[in-house]
Amino acid sequence: MVTAWLVHLYTASGAVVALLAAVATSEGRFRDAFAWLWLAVAIDATDGLAARRFDVRRRLPWFDGGTLDNVVDFLTYVFVPALVVWRVPLVPPALALPAGAAMLLASAYGFSRADAKTDDHFFTGFPSYWNVVVFYQLAAGWSPVANAVLLTVLAGLVFVPVRYVYPSRTPHLRGLTVALGAVWALSMLEMLRELPDVHPVLLWLSLGFPVYYVCLSVWLQGRRRPIA
């Protein structure tokens, strides 16, 4: 039972990481903020493996680790990135608060769907990877209007019931996806080190994994009947 609680504590530590990222954002330390968010993703990518390894659900059947995970994910994947959008001039100033609000409201809906995570390990609707999107906007220096359009489109895609790959659990090409994801995570660290002057070659090469992820998701979606 102690081991099970330690796994849940490991998951919950992501909330503390979110607080540290929010503090860094409020102080204008955006590199530090995304370093904390990178750590949050690392925790999120490994806590499920630990939970299954130590059979946490059987040991603590009355404690819902899935709910805890969703609370932490909403903070790290949605709330802090929305705070960054508000704090950094990524979009036109008049749209900073509406853009952040759109991210929060759309993802609140997405997280609350009964089929947000399907039984066969897919996400339904754009899976609120706002931390990734906002990081690229900050690293690439795209125009505020382009950023606002992208955020609006992605917020809308939360409501479209297309299935997206759950990188660590979707069985199709899982080994390849995990391997590419690990390389991509390392490239993100290097980009983080170079902020705010990320080398364009590194930036565009790193986009290979997001493109692979979207293409794989669309391909797998095309192989099945539309969601009712």
Establish if 118 belongs to a structural domain.
yes
Do the Cβ atoms of 74 and 82 come closer than 8 Å?
Answer: no
Q: Is the pLDDT reported for residue 52 higher than 90?
A: no
- What is the helix (H) or strand (E) element at residue 70, kind and residue range? helix 65-73
In a domain, 227, yes or no: no
In a domain, 10, yes or no: yes
Q: Determine the Cα–Cα distance for residues 139 and 47; give it in Å rounded to an integer.
A: 28
Q: What is the average per-residue pLDDT within 153-158?
A: 98
Question: Cβ distance 37 to 11 under 8 Å?
Answer: no
Q: What is the pLDDT of residue 228?
A: 41
pLDDT at 149 over 80: yes
- Judged against a pLDDT cut of 90, whether residue 59 lies above it is answered with no
Token pair recorded at residue 46: 């490994």
At residue 123, the 3 state secondary structure works out as strand
What average pLDDT does this structure show over 178-201? 95
| CA separation for the pair 126, 157 (Å, rounded) | 5
Q: What is the mean pLDDT of the chain?
A: 94
* pLDDT band at residue 227 using 50, 70 and 90 as cut-offs: very low
- Specify the pLDDT at position 167: 93
According to DSSP, the β-strands at 163-165 and 122-124 are: antiparallel
Whole-number percent of the chain with pLDDT over 90: 89
The pLDDT tens digits for 27-49 are: 999 999 999 999 999 999 999 88
Summarised one tens digit per residue, pLDDT across range 76-134 is 999 999 999 999 989 999 999 999 999 999 999 999 999 999 999 999 999 999 999 99
CA–CA dist 3, 22 (Å, integer):
30
Question: Does a structural domain hold residue 108?
Answer: yes
Residue 174 located in a structural domain: yes
pLDDT at 224 over 80: no
- pLDDT bracket for residue 1 (50, 70, 90): confident
| Angle at the Cα of 84 from the Cα atoms of 79 and 85, rounded to 5 degrees | 95
Its domain, for residue 142, covers 2-222
pLDDT at 225 over 80: no
Asked, for residue 228, whether it belongs to a domain, the answer is no
Total tally of structural domains belonging to the chain: 1
Q: What is the CATH number of the domain that holds 55?
A: 1.20.120
Residue 159 lies in a domain: yes
